[in-house]
Amino acid sequence: MFIAQIVVCGFLNGQCALLEDVKGPKISLKMCESRQEEMFRDVSKKLPYVTFNARRCIKSDKLHV
């Protein structure tokens, strides 16, 4: 299982924020990467001036976050 995280920058005086998926872990790395793209699209709709800075998929044995 993988937990999707992304880092977006450009709000709060140019600072960055780490965002973690609240929909739960993904079964595969590919699904995690797809979820990261979906997360950024959702954030950029609400905050169009943020930039995508980094991402990672954290391996987890937990079924729920």
Mean pLDDT, residues 7-27 taken together: 88
Residue 43 has which token pair? 């954030």
Does residue 65 belong to any structural domain of this protein?
A: no
Token pair belonging to 11 = 């709000």
pLDDT exceeds 80 at position 6: yes
Is residue 30 a part of any domain in this protein? yes
Q: What is the pLDDT of residues 23-63, one digit of tens each?
A: 989 999 999 999 999 999 999 898 888 888 899 999 987 66
| Residue ranges making up the domain that contains 12 | 2-59
**Quick check: is 64 in a domain?**
no
Judge contact between 11 and 47, C-beta under 8 A: yes
Q: How many domains are there within the chain?
A: 1
